A = this chain, B = another copy of it.
Amino acid sequence: MSIDLEIASQAQLKAIGDIAASVGLRTDDIIPFGHDKAKIPLSVLDAADADRGRLILVTAMSPTPAGEGKTTTSIGLADAINEVARLDSWPEVGGKRPAVLALREPSLGPVFGMKGGAAGGGHAQVLPMEDINLHFTGDFAAIALANNLAAAMLDNHMHHGNELDIDPRRITIRRVVDLNDRALRAAAIGLGGYNGGVPREDAFDIVVASEVMAVFCLATSLDDLKERLGRIVLARTRAKEPVTVADIGAAGAMAALLRNALAPNLVQTIEHTPAFVHGGPFANIAHGCNSVLATTAAMTYGQWAVTEAGFGADLGAEKFLDIKARAAGIWPSATVIVATVRALKYHGGVAKDELQEENVEALRAGLPNLRRHLENLQQVFGIPAVVSINRFPSDTDAEVAALIDALAADGVTAVEARHWAEGGAGAVDLARAVLAAAEEAADPAPQYTYPLEASLAEKIEAVATRIYRAGGVEFSPAVQRKLAQFTDEGYGELPVCIAKTQYSFSTDGTLRGAPEGHTLAVRDVRLSAGAGFVVAICGDIMTMPGLPKKPAALTIDVDDDGRITGLF
């Protein structure tokens, strides 16, 4: 059995009603899913105390392919704040728990593919990890159905006379499945003659790459969800006019499919910290954060809400702040940048298979990557930042000390966090440092990378130069035409969502460290009118991953008593 699964199976879960009661929710307020999961109805969230707690955003330096442990750190930090509250006997504040979590739901793609589950690790996990990792409360299935209903209704419209004059060569909606399925990356559908519909090219995406997922995660109510769904542009007419979900009459049925899913899911950490685990869009072609409803629910029921954003801070945190936080009217009081000795050595030039060996010099050589993320958060966005060192067994004391010393010289607090091995108690120092940083800064006013009034090209340039430190941006003539078209159509004031590799500040994933003066070449731009952003594609973006030769699915099993094995 994997270590994560073993630790999870030894944990004593509380009844979800008890977790709900710990934030003042009655049994009738929650929608139970078994005895250890629940949804909180939007009506209950709406009626709750509007005096929200403060927000802590967990992000990371540019990651190695293995990931640096943002989710685990988020869980450990929330558990640790609750531990600090206990140690320091915090006074009761309006029925709120000291800390509540908001996380993304795992996609089945990585669970069955390579990465494994996404419910934390070691002693910093959300539970029941088997359910959370294995399609949970069915939210992603509902999102996939809603997306695929729109696609089916679009093709059906073309089959039955095509009154809207949809151009089959200009369809942008793709069907989705919540699996890694390479063979669906490019397909021809509508084959087989008249009864097979209108032939056309198609491609399937993984559900987390869909605009419906992004819409779901930005919606603040069922009405808002339905309006956003209605605005999604599915295709263009032969005259190039947009054809929306509303035009084909699918918004109501899609929202009906999503009405239960939209209520955030409540679970618990191993240490019984309430955790809202809800939504999970990609951090490249979408904004990469859990749902606005989950984050604001965590702020409603916690004095501190701990949340995370996908990939490194240049992608995840930037989108969290410029897209999600701006749309939702929230702003973090502090950020945590997760760094690892391993990732620093990687950015200092060490090869992947030599990361286990001590190399203080390479670690120092990798520091510019971390420093730039710190500068971006502190100076561009004006938010205090603390570095959490997610310690791995191969890290040496000399390496960790060198890192802490180097950052101290910059005036940055870096704390070694041992939540993986020790749970919340192992991250108490981190929690105290984060809380101190937040207290010192009071509540910073939002500072965005760009104003919405800037042109779409200016907004892309602002992110490229201010966050990525590119020398400039290249827009091909086709991209320029599309940006002009989106602006003409009234989408010019949307924020921008840049899709690029997470491994580098540049668009070249092998360019480690802190490159500058590079060029951001925008290959394509896409409109996500429902989610409310324009995506700038820079480099190869995979919206349908493939399975590896030996996928994790081969090892996953269940016995006759329902016990899962092989999940990690």
A255 contacts across to B, CB distance below 8 A: 557-558
CB of A174 within 8 Å of the partner chain = no
Q: How many angstroms between the C-alpha atoms of A551 and B253 in the bound complex? A: 11
Q: Which of A179-187, A504-512, A528-536 contacts B (4 or more CB under 8 A)?
A: A179-187
Contact B189 A183 (CB under 8 A): yes
If over half of A's interface residues share one DSSP class (helix, strand or loop), that class is named, otherwise mixed; here it is mixed
Interface string of A264-302 (1 = CB under 8 A from B): 000000000000000000000000000000000000000
Interface hit among A52-60, A193-201, A383-391, A448-456: A193-201
Bound CA–CA A134/B146 (angstroms): 11
Contact string against B for A residues 82-102, beta-carbon threshold 8 Å, 1 for contact and 0 otherwise: 000000000000000000000
Which A-B residue pairs are the 9 nearest by beta carbons? Answer: A186-B192, A141-B141, A252-B557, A138-B138, A183-B197, A155-B183, A253-B553, A186-B191, A152-B181
Chain B residues with CB under 8 Å of A180's CB are: 152
* Interface residue? A34 (CB, 8 A): yes
Report the Cα distance A561→B148, complex, angstroms.
24
- Give Cα A186–Cα B556 distance, bound, in whole angstroms: 32
Is A259 an interface residue when CB atoms closer than 8 A count as contact? yes
Q: Give the docked Cα–Cα distance between A226 and B565 (Å).
A: 14
Are B562 and A259 in contact, CB atoms less than 8 angstroms apart? Answer: yes
Q: Tell me, rounded to whole Å, the shortest Cβ–Cβ distance linking A223 to chain B.
A: 4
The stretch of A71-79, A156-164, A419-427, A473-481 in contact with B is: A156-164
Interface size class of A (residues with CB under 8 A): 35 or more
Asked whether B185 lies within 8 Å of A196 as measured between CB atoms, the reply is yes
Pairwise interchain contact B257-A134, C-beta atoms closer than 8 A: yes
Is A33 among interface residues, defined by CB-CB distance under 8 A?
Answer: yes
In the complex, whether A122 has a CB less than 8 A from a CB of chain B is no
Give CA–CA (A186, B554) in the complex, Å.
29
In the assembled complex, the CB of A327 is this many whole angstroms from the nearest CB of chain B, namely: 18
A540 — nearest CB in chain B belongs to which residue? Answer: B195
Say whether, besides A152-B547, A222-B558, A183 and B198 are in contact (CB < 8 Å).
Answer: yes
In the assembled complex, A142 has its CB within 8 A of some CB on chain B: yes
